Structure 1
Amino acid sequence: MTRPFSLIATAFAFLLAVPAGAQMGLGGVQVGVPPVQELPQNLPQNLPGSVLDPLLDRTDRLTDSLAREVQELAEDRVRRIDRLVRRNSDIIERDVRGEPARRGELLLMDASPAAILLAETRGYRVLGREEVEGLDMEVIRIAVPQGVDLGDAEADLSALLPEATVSADNLYFRSGGSALPASAPATPVRRQGTNTPVGMIDGAPGRSVPITALRGFARGAGEPSDHGSAVASLLRSAGASRIYAADVYGTDGAGGNALAIARALGWLAQQEARVITISLVGPDNPILSRAIAAAQASGAVVVAAVGNDGPAAPPAYPASYRGVVAVTAVDRRERALIEAGRALHLDYAAPGADIFGLDRRGRSQRLRGTSYATPLVAARIAAALAGGRDWRRSLDAEAHDLGPRGADDTYGRGLVCRGCGARR
């Protein structure tokens, strides 16, 4: 079958735009997708078969390779969750959707006293009632009856109490991707500082990264982490100087759960954080959804990563919630990372490969992943707020358009913080 010229032209342009060493993901390095404006124009209309046939074969191999890589990213996510549940079966199990959550515990909102009594007659037990400080929301922790799977209990209690909001305490994972020691000491290029309070929900930063305050929301909280240190150091290098860090992981094998993140959001609201950056991903959860909405109602701009499980993975939360600034990442050639996940909307891209931050010991590390693009966007929003500007208008003016003209599903409204996270 003869292929239409438009397909041939597109394939030829794509191959010219992508360096040969990057096309097949050599050495485990994920390939990027070239911006449309890099593609050559006015391709010849009469290329001979001796040129076209090898070109089209190479294009087919490239397409197949990219498709396999995207599929492998999604499968890796499933395998990681399977391993996590198996290795921590004493504290983690799956909810009714198969998502990982804290074992043996459900969360309730909007339940009347009569509903709670009814649940207790079916073997459920109240573990505690909690007013999430700063968010004006109450969460009731419920123990699942002995010997009942979490998913079965969630379905049963939801049917028993249709007027209540029933949820597992789902787990959320760092969207950091890879981090490697830098070959030489690196000093990130610093932007002009701002005193706008910025909150981060992650692991605890190491002592080498100055922050304003740290509070823990997990067992063993305060234990320094490489991921939290990198996020905090990128915030500082991009200009944020008042950083409030909420540690939702600590040393807890079931850390990073929805209730811990809700508590962290409440504390940050009390600190009057104007911007909150969250480089974590997981499933939709009604507790987290309400906490995000409450933090936004307090005046905070919530910024979140789309994750690194690839475009075939489910939409990432909290990035997919309404009003959350969803962030993806590009490499140093301003190509979208192939491992970048997706959300139900996309706002901005920022550098997320070959950038540098600090680990928990204060050593420079080379970073890759949407986790590391997110604090850069948060810092730019904080800078706009510090100047009394409309942050959306300010970032839109700064954003460098990539891909199709205007907002798109790969780069959002464009690339911000160009050059952030780089070495001097």
Structure 2
Amino acid sequence: MIRRRLCIALAAVLTVVLAGCGGGGGSSGPTEIAVWHGYQDTEGEVFKNLVDQYNKEHPDVKVSELYSKNDLVLQKVLTAVRGNSAPDVAYMFGSWSPNIAKIPSLVDMADEVKKPDWKWDDFYEAERKAATVGDKVVGVPALVDNLAIVYNKKLFADAGVAPPTPEWTWDDFRAAAAKLTDPAKGQFGWLIPADGSEDTVWHYIPMLWEAGGDILNADNTKAVFNSDAGVRALTTLQQMAVTDKSLYLDTTNENGPKLMNSGKIGMLVTGPWDLSSLSDIDYGVQVMPSYPGSAGGHQTIAGPDNWVVFNNGDKRKQAAIDFVKWLSAPEQVKKFSLGTGDLPIRASVGDDKSVLAELDKNVPGTAAFVENLKNVHMVRPQVEQYPAVSEALGQAVMSVMLGTEQPKAALDSAAQAADAKLAEK
């Protein structure tokens, strides 16, 4: 299932955004600010409690929270900006950062987060990178996650395969997947989202980085995923899907947790969001494999999202900045993480052993994902054309896993398509 945090359907209507900043609140009474977010259920309750706490502790400010479906927020914000009615704060996907950076009423947080009391370096590296577009800091981290191996302990034991270790290579992963595969039982070693979407690409990119490659060149003008490293990573998928037939291609992108839970899949490469669905099996979590001889290591990928502030007049702007600063401070990060099970967005909270123990008590394996944040060193390129790059790359990965193309040819074709898009103004 495609997570809401992976959505990259970037709105083309950005080009018609008009500069529009509403005025501040009235001269008397508390300064009122509106916060748009997509939290529901437990997340929604915990967030509401935090807002209530802030309002109680800050009587000069009135924060109103409004639910807005995450996938639609960019469109809604652009419409609101044109109508001079933008929110003061909005939860927005990190993959939208290049688009957000062009909104005239955006509050650039670059100078703000340099202040010592923000402790900007306490946010994980990938979060800071995902919030940065050129010289701008378009938001403050709101959420972070990553990918790791989640494996069925019983299937490993039944197949006589030792559980994954931090030293695993992709050769080890491939060998284990082959032993875990039993066609007679409809059992596979690994399942991968295989609809050609960003979710498919999201699973390939860490392998590309681990092999020592990258998506685009340093100035984001040309695709470089068709390098030797890119071919090496895609060849691993080809070997498992076509040669070993140990890789289940989930073309609906909806069956991973269900098949894992029913004992049909030995391993998923997934994030903490799937753990609560695996109630019928005894599972473990381990970091991603590596490629021998590569400096890439056990890299993974994150999908950080941000709290974005908009300028609706000086008073409201400052109130919004103050609220986001309070919300992202360690004490509130700890409270939100423990209340929801979401990974902490600050390293100081993630390094707190009591927090890790409590997270693991609530949902086993969560602590391993927190530790895995230290393996997130790179982020997807911050360019508006990334959706087109992802689409070309997704088609290449799918063609190879389906056995219709060879890795090098598929990646070369995708790079050509990506370069054409990157060259467009």
Shorter-chain TM-score bucket reads: under 0.3
Higher RCO, 1 vs 2 (CA within 8 Å, ≥6 residues apart): 2
Higher strand share: 1
Larger of the two Rg values belongs to structure: 1
Higher helix share: 2
